Structure 1
Amino acid sequence: MEKPVYELVAQEFEKQMTHYTVATEAQNHTGLRPCFNISGEKSVSAPELIFQFKGGAKMALPTANYFSFVDSGVICLTIVSDSVVGSGFGGGPAIILGNYQQRNFHVEFDLENESTGSTRGRRDMVVPVKLLIVGQQASVG
């Protein structure tokens, strides 16, 4: 995720999860951020994360697709900024949906028709997005 967008997302999670202590040591160790100490909690409440694509389609992620246990009693957001993975693409704003975000989703890439789709159990939903194909951008939808 581009750093300015990532910073807004990370700050929003920090703002909405103030009832948990920030796990600074885990953040320093893993490079993930934000991380929260949830030890001793009977249940954990995290804000919803919903990606909205061009055309209005939405992809609501289960909490396990964007938070992960990294230590006993510590969870971290599993979304990273492009400063972690490198920002050399230069193709404009982009978000890479990584393997954590795509878990338990069917993701379909139709390069011939320049479309992609993602579903949780249904295979008939097509989500218009921008495809990045070896250095060229194809507008879809």
Structure 2
Amino acid sequence: MIGDKHVKVPYSFLVPGSDGNGGAIVDSGSTFTFMERPVFELVSKELEKQMGNYSRTREVENMSGLSPCFNISGYKSIKVPELTFHFKGGAKMVLPLTNYFSFVGDDTVVCLMVITDNVVDQGSHGGPAIILGSFQQQNYYIEFDLANDRFGFAKKRCV
């Protein structure tokens, strides 16, 4: 969910296929959250739509490999929609702004700290379609209950 808009990710990306590809995993060993290109484009396009009053900075995107990046120079404050991950069972992880946006270069450009690949077809590249990385897990207690096949989290200010 971005702001109050539910991003409709096709079910086929959320559940692993019989070949083991697709689905979503949580990985503290992956720095940033990864989304296969079709999922990433749904998220980034909605984000760009809601942040339409800021101009994209393609030069920074090309140099950093991050996208979308927005020029926020000249603004006294910025408005960024919340990014919320919804999980099976109804749990919602509302990310703090610093868990999905970061300044790149100086304090005039912010970029989404979620990455993708360059595969443009609708099929899986192999492996999970979504990997929730450690950057987005910051300031959360994370619990993996393998015996009961459950994932838990709680927001906590970690120092």
On whether the aligned pair clears a TM of 0.5, the verdict is yes
The size of the alignment, in residue pairs, is 118
Correspondence 1:87 to 2:139 = no
Q: Secondary structure at the match of 1:27?
A: helix
Kindly provide the CA deviation profile for residues 47-94 of structure 1, in whole angstroms up to 9, marking residues without a partner as x.
11111101111110011100011121110000112448x9321x6xx3
Name the structure 2 match of 1:15.
49
TM superposition outliers: structure 1 runs of 4+ over 2 Å: none
Q: Distance in 2 between matches of 1:30 and 1:13?
A: 19
Q: Distance in 1 between matches of 2:88 and 2:38?
A: 20
Q: Distance in 2 between matches of 1:54 and 1:69?
A: 32
Unpaired stretches in structure 2, ≥5 consecutive residues: 1-34
Give the alignment's Cα RMSD to 1 decimal: 2.0
Kindly provide the CA deviation profile for residues 4-47 of structure 1, in whole angstroms up to 9, marking residues without a partner as x.
11101000111111111111100000111100011121111111
- State percent identity of aligned pairs: 56
Alignment of 1:1-141 (within 5 A): 1-72=35-106, 73-83=108-118, 87-89=125-127, 94-121=129-156
Q: Distance in 1 between matches of 2:125 and 2:99?
A: 23
Letter in 1 for 2:126: G
Letter in 1 for 2:51: M
Unpaired stretches in structure 1, ≥5 consecutive residues: 122-141
